[in-house]
Chain A
Amino acid sequence: MAASIAVEESSVQARMARPSRFGDKAFEWLTLAMALTVVVLVVLIGWQLWRGSTLAIQKFGFHFLTTSTWDPVAEQFGALPFIYGTLVSSLIALLIAVPLGIATAAYLTELAPLWIRQPLVSLIEMLAAIPSVILGLWGIFVMIPWLRDYPFPFLKRFFGWIPLFSGPIYGPCMFAGGIIIAIMILPIITSVSREILRSVPDLQREAAYALGATRWEATRIAVLSYAKKGLFGAVILGLGRALGETMAVTMVIGNTPQIAASLFKPGYTLASVIANEFTEATTDMYLQALFEVGLVLFGTTILVNLLAQLLLRTIAVKSATRAVQ
């Protein structure tokens, strides 16, 4: 279908478009150049981060990723506490956001009454539009005091014997960071999961209902398990966003480079340390180390995003071919 149109177009072009060949070529090259900027940008980011951190990479080598001293005065830099903080806060965020996001997506596509679906989708889009810094502001002055007064003491009283929930409660901490990231990534996990569930062919549902399945059984057996791989892609995409989330986390995580067992202790993430210390970097080596933190962050997020795109792409292709068959 598409191919035949293309053939028609090119033959039409060959006969009719002779007079202004130059304009056509020029326009095509112009748009091509603009489209190629995405390639240029990816290379530019990688090159710039690499160039900015060569000295640090030479000096610290692999130890940069495995040591935890971050001492600008002695010019000793190890990024392990930031890597740890990024991973732990993102993990907390995923533990909260994945079940909620997928349940909401299932509600929006399968379970909810029709009239409620569109308004809910709009509200989730609005949530996605809230700038990170505003969520951080709300986190500092509303969420943290509330967490400190109610849920945290509760967790401590009943689960205090687990190291995760032991120790004094300060307010800004790893747990608060994880929660704020969860709020930030919920809209993307929900909306991508919703797209995936919508792409599940109706035949699947009809078959389940024909066998006498209840609404939930049809959702679980025919829809959710069918879309498993795509939902995994949505989760990985959410992970990519979680790793790079900056402002809101910086405002609530406490910004202390330490590796502590308790989630009530302050932490630090890769993105936060760049945000906080970049303009204070007085020596060249300090700046180099921060560029290297940026390189680590870029490398990680690009790998995670590649994985997510690959997962989501194969799904899209597969469901499209199935629909044709």
Chain B
Amino acid sequence: MQFERAHNHTWRKIKSGLACGIAFVSAVLVISPLGLVFFYLLVNGAGSVNWDFFTKLPAPVGAVGGGMANAIVGTLELLAFAGVIGIPIGVLGGVYLAEYGSARINSFLRFLADVLNGIPSITWGVVVYGLVVLRFKGFSAYAGGLALGLIMIPLILRTTEEVILLVPNGYREAALALGVSRWKTIVHIVMKTASKGIITGILLALARVGGETAPLLFTAFGNRFWNHSLSQPIAALPLQIFTYAISPYDDWHRQAWAGALVLVTGVFCVNVTVRILTRGRTASVV
């Protein structure tokens, strides 16, 4: 009896160890694509990231060389335009959810924002195509920027709300007790206290839409040359990577890898910056 119980216990311990082992292997499998993608990006892309890549236009078919200068600038322009739309709407909407509004309205709006975040990004492309491209008869940087901006709204709204809720109520009470009006309290005290978190949310949203391709396919459309007017089609890094990746030319494949390396580096830089920013935040009061 004694022996049997001991045996049973060993078996249970072995089973527990086995389960831990399987869980560990799962975790390794989950993160392995990250390592693999990064490894192949460096192997295939590092050789083609050079001065020309950042300063030259794409070379014509058949010609070797060229770069993605227009696509890099195009992505930055699109992000700037998207930010103009997405940041004020998202931040102020988040302020409403955190500071005003009844519980019922807020949970409804929060719910819709979460649902919007789950909508496939290509849907936004189709919608903006119907709204802007069909109406103004042409692909344009405006349309691309609008599509990205609309995607940003629910993302920023939720992160802003979350960080504003972290601001202690004492701050608000102190300001109100001094006779400061409510809106000034919110803008100068609450939002200022939460500014690091709000900026974090904005940066993450920019990094996220900066890598989006689907909503740009039939809004910004892409362009092999410099864009001279925002009402014209504009190049974007993810679009260019897509076009090059599915092309039959070896030289374009190399360019696609180089573009991907640059894009991923940009996205990861933002993510790391954000992580450093938030580390500071958890240490301080908020």
State the A residues within 8 Å of B (CB): 5, 8-9, 12-13, 16-17, 19-20, 23-24, 26-28, 30-32, 34-39, 41-42, 44-45, 48-49, 51-52, 99-101, 103-104, 106-108, 111-112, 120, 122-127, 129-138, 140-142, 183, 186-187, 190, 214-217, 219-220, 237, 240-241, 243-247, 251, 271, 274-275, 278-279, 290-291, 294, 297-298, 301-302, 304-306, 308-309, 313
Contacts and interface: CB of A to CB of B under 8 A. Distances in A.
B102 to A, nearest CB: 10
A3 to B, nearest CB: 10
Could you say which of A35, A49, A133 has the most chain B C-beta atoms within 10 Å of its C-beta? A35
A62 B181 CA distance: 57
B30 A246 contact: no
- Between B120, B260, B267, the greatest number of chain A beta carbons within 10 A of the residue's beta carbon is seen for B120
Contact of B214 (A17, A132, A243): A132
A294 B126 contact: yes
Name A's interface SS.
Answer: helix
A247 B33 contact: no
A311 B124 CA distance: 26
Interface string B24-58: 10110111011011001100100000000000000
A120 B125 CA distance: 34
A151 to B, nearest CB: 14
Q: Which 6 A-B pairs have the closest CB atoms?
A: A244-B120, A131-B211, A27-B183, A107-B23, A31-B96, A103-B26
Given A126-B271, A278-B217, A28 B26 contact: no
Given A23-B181, A37-B153, A302 B119 contact: yes
Interface in B1-25: 12-13, 15-16, 18-20, 22-24
Given A28-B100, A126-B268, A215-B16, 11 more contacts: A5-B169, A27-B187, A28-B183, A35-B92, A103-B26, A132-B213, A140-B245, A216-B16, A271-B214, A294-B122, A302-B119
Contacts of B256: 137
13 contacts: A13-B176, A23-B181, A28-B183, A39-B112, A42-B112, A45-B127, A48-B127, A104-B30, A137-B256, A214-B15, A243-B120, A271-B122, A306-B115
A111 B18 CA distance: 11
Interface in B91-131: 92-97, 99-101, 109, 111-116, 118-127, 129-131
Contacts of A274: 122, 125-126
Given A217-B12, A246-B120, A301-B118, A35 B34 contact: no
A35 B101 contact: yes
Contacts, number: 293
Of B101, B126, B130, B179, the most chain A CB neighbours within 10 A belong to: B126
Nearest to A1: B169
A54 to B, nearest CB: 12
A127 B100 contact: no
B82 interface: no
A52 B99 CA distance: 38
B109 A39 contact: yes
Contacts of B242: 133, 136, 247, 251
B263 interface: yes
B88 interface: yes
Contact of B31 (A124, A135, A301, A309): A124
A42 B116 contact: yes
A308 B118 contact: yes
Nearest to A18: B181
